[in-house]
Structure 1
């Protein structure tokens, strides 16, 4: 496959390395204009060798099989519809951006008009296949609980509710609400809540609780669901990517898995 990649952060680097190991090196990077210029200058002596670095959808090579977004909500908003309209299928891990109904419809319309597809990577959570199956019956209630160490909520609205540096005892809940509210309020922290909502009963019916927990060192995600199928409880304690404490290892792995499934004649 010929793959274009948005971003060069920790998840993007992991995805690039693993895809290259599987025989699918990234052939184009879509980056901010200043970063694209830096990378072109750094690779100026290698013209025609290795990936190209571009700063707009129009500059992407026309023969790409798939574009992969690993750069967050803002990048998906900026480039997503244009990529789909340009005739490229797109994989993203920035699921929380779809909590904006107008933006979700923009992506749907762009894909429908161009005959392209948007693939959603599962991110840092599992059990989404069970939720998708359960919603075919009567899926009555879905609750997601996200726990992170206090420092994992730094830079988020949690700081408006709690003194994160002073938490040294019991866990403290700093958000309760719907998955839509969580995804829009915590764009860097609630992609998992969005994934659970999209797989299950939607953004407005999925209950979310977010907790700063000084007693843990990993990010812990829980799903509780009830319906005609019975009951489901799922818990995962996720590790970060080595050297990048804010990036989920499983989220990066899920992107690679989604890409590798893309051309497969048998998919699971």
Structure 2
């Protein structure tokens, strides 16, 4: 039985826990859930017994894997501690690795403890092809992200433009992935995942659009190198509870957990 800890019980954390509970194949068990404020959640007694605000209680468990789904701050607060505890770490808020010093500290701790830091594909696709292609010369990687206005409330973009009055697509960012990951920590984690798989944060080009004509969160990837060329468009259904993310993120985490519990793995 694969023992799982979950950090954060927002949209993604809740979806992952529910998916594990419905998994007919079994082999995966949530043993503890770490949250900042337990009083915010109305959950069944079976989950209430697992939920805690106390780090000491959470880390008293013997985890095989801990899933981080609580934002960049949680990666900084708990990443090293998870690895030191002897568990592998699945990072959803991969944009935290735009902080190069943080990435180095976590990599060093993972090496010391012989643990793995795992980045699921989450809202993006083609990372297996990008990662394979990066082993040979890779010339260029570009990401264009488009999301409807409702996905950008509570972000920096609200200070740039009136989201309710937009009638045409608005380019909110044109630069490199290191900056996009820092500026939009909840919305453009895909740029960080793409950077880590390919040619790095400072060479991966990113454009971010607010598009009133679409209803899906859309990501367009183009990469060229010795391997050839990849052009990929992904349309993700936004979560009804949090339009900044899509249902596919939790599904991708669940696929990663299933791979660890299974003897037959596809799409590595």
Assess same fold via TM > 0.5: yes
Residue matched to 2:116:
117
Q: Once superposed, what is the RMSD of the aligned Cα atoms?
A: 2.3
Task: Return closer, same or farther for 1:109/1:153 CA change in 2, 3 Å cut-off.
Answer: same
Q: 8 Å contact 1:93–1:122 — kept in the other structure?
A: no
Count of aligned positions: 262
Q: Could you list the per-position Cα deviations for residues 244-263 of structure 1 after superposition, in whole angstroms to 9, with x for gaps in the alignment?
A: 43331111111111111123
Paired with 1:138 and 1:99, the residues of 2 have a C-alpha distance of 22
Deviation at 1:184, TM superposition (A): 0.9
| Gap runs ≥5 in structure 1 | none
Deviates further, 7-16 or 156-165: 156-165
Q: 8 Å contact 1:3–1:67 — kept in the other structure?
A: yes
Q: 8 Å contact 2:145–2:219 — kept in the other structure?
A: yes
Q: 8 Å contact 2:147–2:214 — kept in the other structure?
A: yes
Deviation at 1:85, TM superposition (A): 1.0
Is 2:233 the partner of 1:235?
Answer: yes
Deviation at 1:159, TM superposition (A): 2.3
User: SS state of the match for residue 262, structure 1?
Assistant: helix
Deviation at 1:156, TM superposition (A): 1.6
Match of 1:187 among 175, 185, 188: 185
Q: 8 Å contact 2:141–2:198 — kept in the other structure?
A: yes
User: SS state of the match for residue 245, structure 2?
Assistant: strand
Task: Return closer, same or farther for 1:59/1:15 CA change in 2, 3 Å cut-off.
Answer: closer
User: SS state of the match for residue 89, structure 2?
Assistant: strand
Residue matched to 1:4:
5
Residue matched to 2:170:
172
Give runs of aligned pairs for residues 101-250 of structure 1, distance below 5 A: 101-168=100-167, 170-250=168-248
| Gap runs ≥5 in structure 2 | none
Deviation at 1:242, TM superposition (A): 4.3
Deviation at 1:229, TM superposition (A): 1.9
Paired with 1:265 and 1:107, the residues of 2 have a C-alpha distance of 28
Match of 2:254 among 250, 256, 260: 256
Deviates further, 204-213 or 80-89: 80-89
Task: Return closer, same or farther for 1:115/1:58 CA change in 2, 3 Å cut-off.
Answer: farther
Q: Could you list the per-position Cα deviations for residues 165-203 of structure 1 after superposition, in whole angstroms to 9, with x for gaps in the alignment?
A: 2202x2110101100010011111110111111111110
Residue matched to 2:22:
21
Q: 8 Å contact 1:92–1:255 — kept in the other structure?
A: no
**TM-score, length of structure 1 as denominator length:** 0.90
Paired with 1:107 and 1:93, the residues of 2 have a C-alpha distance of 15
Deviation at 1:204, TM superposition (A): 0.5
Paired with 2:41 and 2:180, the residues of 1 have a C-alpha distance of 35
